[in-house]
Structure 1
Amino acid sequence: MTALPAAGLRMLGPVVGFLVLVELTSGILQGYYTPMLTDIARHLGIDDGDVNWFESAQLMLSALAVPLLAKLGDIYGHKRILLVSTVLTAAASWGVAFAPGFWTFLAAWSLQGFYVVWLPMEIALIFSRLRHAPNRAVLTRKAAGLLVGALELGVIGGALLGGVLVERFAGMLWLTLSFPAMAVTLCIFAVHFGVPESDSLDGGTVDRTGFVLLAVGLLTLTSGLTFLRINGPGTWWAWAVLAAGVAAFIPFVRYELGRRDPLVDFAMLRRPSMWPVQLTAGLFGISVLGAQAPMSTFARTDPAQHGYGLGLEASQVSIIIGSYVLALLVGALLFPVAARRTTPRNTLVGAALLVGVGYAMFLPFHDSLPQALANMVVAGLGSGALVAALPSAAAAAAPLNRTGMATGLTNTTKTIGGSFASAVFGIALASTAANALSGGTAVTAAPLEGYLTVWTVCSVTAFVAAAVLLLVPRLAFADPPLGAEENAV
């Protein structure tokens, strides 16, 4: 892994080591369940397409919680919010393990989404400790690469372990689901005893009205997507609910623009070095979050029965996940190197292009495991760089007392993109033959056209993100003059 300079290590102390443990656990949460999604679906008695609603619900809760938690981090301390979110995630993880039915499982899975605030809080903590370093943006990028590298190692280990244990403990799914809950519980002690508090706090107040307006908008949008999924895209009133959700953001934006201490600082978002990063995060969330479940169910689909799919067992799905996440790890570690040789902006553009090319390759090449592996490696290299780059780029573009908000917003927009994609992909993957019988057995596999739609959307949105990033100033995200910025703050 790329080493931090000695001076940067002295300023950070042992905090990076403890944060690496947290990100390893975050990776376990993100990789462990993927090989067993089909087993979970069968255990709960639902179809493959309905698995997307787990991700959709979790991502929507995350999109709602992260802006509030990020603001609370700027006010009360990033370590404190990191600890609170870890406790909540641990409780939800135990709920996932012992949920007695679909609705309780869905609720626990959704609440588990509090972990998405971990990386933004960690980047804010690091940036705060490096605030007096003249090269703090460079050091933050390198630390972010280490953290994302740990995250991806956790995903690899979690996916491999999950694929093995779900078969080893067949019939005892509760026991298999208990392992990530144990890991998160241990993380509580790592954060409490090993992570110091940040010292650059906002000292503001919580924008409760803004939070309510944001919640109304997000929940209305979620309801519209749910109605579309249940009643079909031909239901006009479901589209009306969806439009009402979009319209609900208009009073939210107007209210926030009139606040001196807003929940979301839209004045900051209007910066030419900030809004393309946040928009890219939203577009990137479509592929990195929304396409995980479809890839797992496609890999498990039997080509002999349906004419498409890879026909893999749960443990074999780990091969695809492991290859993808290994590419993510390489991309994350290469990002600071590439940014130093070119510019951070050009590196972001190149990463988005790789994601677009990787998913475009799925359209003609999806008939064999080697083809799927090649596609996922190309997309993974770009995705890894974006995971590491986006929060550090947002931190570099934000005022010092807004780093929590800026880094949190990258995860908020990413989870919004992922939640919408997960819901839309669930519609695309809804099998028209789900209630039909084939040889006396219910058909639960999603149609091939749905998977082609998923890959097309992921590719097009990545190319759009690359075009948007070209609008960022060429030398954005570099270290500004320290004294001038602190005086401005």
Structure 2
Amino acid sequence: MSDTLARPVPGGSAPPRSNAVVAVLAFAGITVSLMQTLVIPIVPELPKFLNATPSNAIWAVTATLLAAAVATPVAGRLGDMYGKRRILLISLCLLVTGSVVCALSGSLVPMLAGRVLQGLSAAVVPLGISVMRDVLPAERLAGATALMSASLGVGGALGLPSAAFVADNFDWHVLFWISAALGAVAVLVVTFVVPESKVRTGGRFDLVGAAGLAVGLVSLLLAVSKGGDWGWTSPTVLGLFAVAVVVLVGWGGFELRTAEPLVDLRTTARRQVLFTNLASIALGFSMFAMSLVLPQLLQLPEANGYGLGKSMLVMGLILAPQGLVMMAMAPFSAALSRAKGPKVTLMTGALIVAAGYGLSIVLMAEVWQIMIASCVIGAGVGFAYGAMPALIMGAVPASETAAANSLNTLMRSIGTSFASAVAGVVLAQMTIEFGPATLPSQSGFRVVMAIGAGAALLSFALCAFLPRHRPAAVTGQGATAAPAASGEALLQADRG
């Protein structure tokens, strides 16, 4: 597809108030990202709350992951076709509905249904970034998209202590009533503040492509997320991996042949898009390694010699500053992208993340040390996540922005899923005996941190294959011209 397919929506609105649009979309992004950590404080109690076995109750976490993976690329394509703001609002309404269902649930099935609906809202951040491209002035775009991208980490970081406080002091259903209220506020402010994008692709939705991608992604992520519990060599896990490979290969062939694909694989194969997505997988892996290690270190008993014995609430408060640092880095990320290009910004962020892991390997004995290391990693993620949308939008037509940004978000999610699996294997193998319990060893934590540093350096190396510096800003306020609008220009840029 090309920009010639894009068509303005008749009766476009006047230029929006930029600050209000950015604030509202960032709030919506933070609200959706809260779903990542919402149930973590109550996971140990879920079997009792839902009258379910522990292995079944944990599906309240897994179901959201799977739903988000499927919904993100589908919602991106629908946004390009029918309006990004419209699909964003539908996503937020699904979040509200899912939260109400969870708040009213007292058993496993309605809880899972609600968590699936919450997961279907995951495309709000890439859709918000795409709306920004279409409605904001060009000079505001780099900083705004960096802030919106950082909202993924901010919501996750701030959500944990908030959820822990609520879970410790109120009935667990209150968590979901609060998320429903936040979602409802987001729906209202988006409705009244954010204008609809003028850029649409039209065409027909690729139902076969959506079904194929859903089956392939669910099989892959289910095998990765449950491999440790079910056994990596079990017939179920091996069968899921086989289904994922066969289905995704067949899906790719179908997408290349269809006239209006769910994902334009030819656009995805462009050097700038391809290597940005590969770097995103590596960086998503690296970021999540920290999220798995540092909370455990803070909560393990002090008597084992390296645990710090903190409650979940205190642990969340200790790690919350990293989210604020991530958001604070957004204007610096945008400034560096304007001066040197988003490629340099992404490489800088990857190096900062690697340095943060290096610090965490040697500084893990005190609370202040872990806080410093987590903030350094958060700063690096803030730089990197701010650069990714600029790289993607600098290489795709305006008519494909939402789909391309959604695919990039999916790549990060795949990286985090693999990080969880790898860290789980390492920590399960490197253990110590502590009374009747078996705990991950300090060496195991250090190995996971070293792997996280290696993943960040891999992201840095992948960035070296990106084309040379191109301006980060793209045309704002709904213009249909994009840096990648011409196929010949793209080929020349890729050779550069």
Structure 1 CA distance for aligned equivalents of residues 257 and 66 of structure 2 = 26
Deviations 1:17-63, CA, capped at 9 Å, x for gaps: 24523432432554587497244323436999999865554233212
TM-fit CA distance, 1:314: 2.6
Of 400, 405, 408 in structure 2, the residue corresponding to residue 407 of structure 1 is 405
Instruction: State the AA in 1 paired with 2:215.
Output: V
- 1:23 aligned onto 2:26: yes
What is aligned with 2:319? Answer: 321
1:100 corresponding residue in structure 2: 106
- Kindly report which structure 2 residues correspond to 1:168-187, keeping only aligned pairs within 5 A, or say none: 168-169=169-170, 172-187=171-186
Q: Counterpart in 2 of 1:468? A: 462
1:108, CA displacement in angstroms?
Answer: 3.0
AA partner of residue 406 (structure 1): A
Query: How far, CA to CA, are the matches of 1:316 and 1:264 in structure 2?
Result: 43
Identity of aligned residues (%): 24
Query: In the aligned structure 2, how far is the partner of 1:242 from the partner of 1:463?
Result: 27
1:258-287 CA-partner distances (Å, limit 9, x unpaired): 222211111111212111111122222223
1:123 to 129, 140, 159: 129
Structure 1 residues 12 and 333, CA gap change in structure 2 (3 angstroms): farther
Answer yes or no: is the 8 Å Cα contact 1:153–1:325 preserved in 2. yes
Map of 2:148 onto structure 1: 147
Counterpart position of 1:66: 72
* Number of aligned residue pairs: 468
Q: Which residue of 1 aligns with 2:94?
A: 88
Match of 2:490 in 1: none
Q: 2-side partners of 1:289 and 1:95: how far apart?
A: 29
Match of residue 190 from structure 1: 189
Q: State the distance in 2 between where 1:455 and 1:241 align.
A: 29
DSSP-derived class of the 2:394 partner: helix
Determine the structure 2 residue equivalent to 1:388: 386
Task: Name the CA distance, whole Å, in 1 between partners of 2:167 and 2:469.
Answer: 48
Distance in 1 (alpha carbons) for counterparts of 2:471 and 2:55: 40
How far apart are residue 309 of structure 1 and its match?
A: 2.5
Question: Please, which moves more after superposition, 47-56 or 333-342?
Answer: 47-56
Residues 231/479 of structure 1: CA separation in 2 closer, same or farther (3 Å cut)? closer
2:56 and 2:278 mapped to 1: Cα distance?
28
Letter in 2 for 1:44: P
Cα 1:470–1:103 change in 2 (3 A) is: farther
Aligned match of 1:375 = 373
**Which whole-Å CA distance do the structure 1 matches of 2:484 and 2:274 have between them?**
22
> What are the equivalent positions in structure 2 for 1:158-169 lying under 5 Å apart?
158-169=159-170
- Deviation at 1:386? 2.0
Question: Unpaired runs of 5+ in structure 1?
Answer: 1-9
Bigger mean CA offset, 10-19 vs 208-217: 10-19
Distance change >3 Å, CA 342–CA 233, structure 1 → 2: same
Name the counterpart of 1:211.
210
- Is residue 306–residue 365 contact of structure 2 (8 Å, CA) maintained in 1? yes
Preserved contact between residue 225 and residue 420 of structure 2 (Cα < 8 Å) = no
Call closer, same or farther: CA 1:334–1:400 in 2, change over 3 Å: same
- Mean Cα deviation higher: 142-151 or 456-465: 142-151
Cα gap change, 1:426/1:150 in structure 2, threshold over 3 Å: closer, same or farther? closer
- Counterpart-to-counterpart distance in 2, 1:244 and 1:382: 36
The 3 A distance-change label for structure 1 pair 433 and 142 is closer
Q: Distance in 2 between matches of 1:438 and 1:191?
A: 54
CA distance in 2, matches of 1:378, 1:48: 35
Query: In the alignment, which of 360, 363, 378 is matched to residue 361 of structure 2?
Result: 363
| AA at the equivalent of 2:77 | K
Which range is displaced more, 336-345 or 208-217?
336-345
Task: Pick closer, same or farther for the CA change 1:483–1:399 going to 2, 3 Å.
Answer: closer
**Uncovered stretches (5+) of structure 2, i.e. residues with no partner:** 1-12, 488-496
Structure 1 Cα separation of the partners of residues 434 and 147 of structure 2: 50
Residue 240 (structure 1) shift:
4.8
Q: 1:181 to 1:437 in 2, by over 3 A?
A: farther
**Alpha-carbon shift at residue 106 of structure 1 (Å):** 4.5
SS at match of 1:204: coil
Q: Establish whether residue 78 from structure 1 lines up as the match of residue 84 from structure 2.
A: yes
Alignment of 1:31-42 (within 5 A): 31=34, 34=37, 37-42=40-45
Q: Give the Cα–Cα distance (whole angstroms) in 2 for the partners of residues 320 and 48 of structure 1.
A: 28
Q: 1:322 to 1:28 in 2, by over 3 A?
A: farther
1:129-151 CA-partner distances (Å, limit 9, x unpaired):
25xx6xx3x53212213435666
- For residues 177 and 73 of structure 1, the distance between their equivalents in structure 2, rounded to whole angstroms, comes to 27
**2:248 aligned with 1:254, yes or no?**
no
Task: Tell me how far apart the structure 2 counterparts of residues 470 and 182 of structure 1 sit (CA, whole Å).
Answer: 44
> How far apart are 1:416 and its partner, in Å?
1.9
Tell me, yes or no, if the aligned pair for 2:38 and 2:159 is still in contact at 8 Å.
no
Could you tell me whether the CA contact under 8 Å between 1:21 and 1:190 is conserved in 2?
yes
Q: Deviations over 1:353-410 (max 9, x none)?
A: 1112222333333222122112111111111122222123211211111111111111
Question: How far, CA to CA, are the matches of 1:457 and 1:50 in structure 2?
Answer: 30
| 1:15–1:194 Cα contact (<8 Å) kept | no
Q: Which of 349, 352, 359 is 1:351 aligned to?
A: 349
Counterpart-to-counterpart distance in 1, 2:371 and 2:458: 24
SS of the residue corresponding to residue 282 of structure 2 reads helix
Name the CA shift for 1:226/1:270 in 2 (closer, same or farther; >3 Å).
closer
Moved more, 198-207 or 392-401: 392-401
Aligned to 1:13: 16
Distance in 2 (alpha carbons) for counterparts of 1:477 and 1:456: 34
Amino acid at match of 1:466: F
Q: Is the 8 A contact 2:351 2:380 kept in 1?
A: yes
CA contact (8 A) 2:284 2:414 kept: yes
Whichever residue aligns with residue 219 of structure 1, its letter is V
